[in-house]
């Protein structure tokens, strides 16, 4: 599912009215450590990313935040925003 979010931190999701909304409960991080076979792999970024996609999808499904099935649909929505400063966020759900 594709979402349209603000560029600056704290990250906010755009609702269908084009207003940026802070969604409580979505966990953001700049680092993930994945341990496999006694080897720790650290992934870090200057930009925050979602820590748990399924948890984020569960929370977003209970809000007025609109997700889009395709990036093209998200782009078309983003073009309607008044300030023109937004970016895409793809969240992959297991459900």
Closest CA to 7 of 74, 87, 71, 79: 87
The domains of the chain are located at 2-90
The 10s digit of each residue's pLDDT in 36-64 is 888 888 888 888 889 899 999 999 999 98
Spell out the residues 6+ positions from residue 88 whose beta carbon is closer than 8 angstroms to its own. 2, 3, 4, 5, 71, 74, 75, 78
The 10s digit of each residue's pLDDT in 10-40 is 899 999 999 999 999 999 988 877 788 888 8
Cα(57)–Cα(63) distance, integer angstroms: 10
- Structure confidence at residue 95 as a pLDDT band (50, 70, 90): low
8-state DSSP, 53:
H
For residues 19 and 81, the answer to whether their CB atoms sit within 8 Å is no
């Amino acid at each position: 599912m594709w979402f349209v979010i603000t560029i600056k931190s704290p990250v906010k999701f755009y609702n269908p009215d084009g207003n940026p909304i802070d969604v409580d409960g979505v966990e953001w991080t700049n680092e993930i450590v994945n341990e496999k076979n006694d080897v720790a792999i650290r992934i870090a970024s200057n930009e925050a990313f979602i820590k748990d996609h399924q948890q984020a999808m569960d929370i977003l499904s209970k809000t007025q935040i609109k997700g889009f099935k395709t990036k093209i649909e998200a782009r078309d929505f983003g073009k309607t925003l008044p300030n023109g400063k937004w970016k895409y966020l793809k969240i992959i759900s297991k459900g």
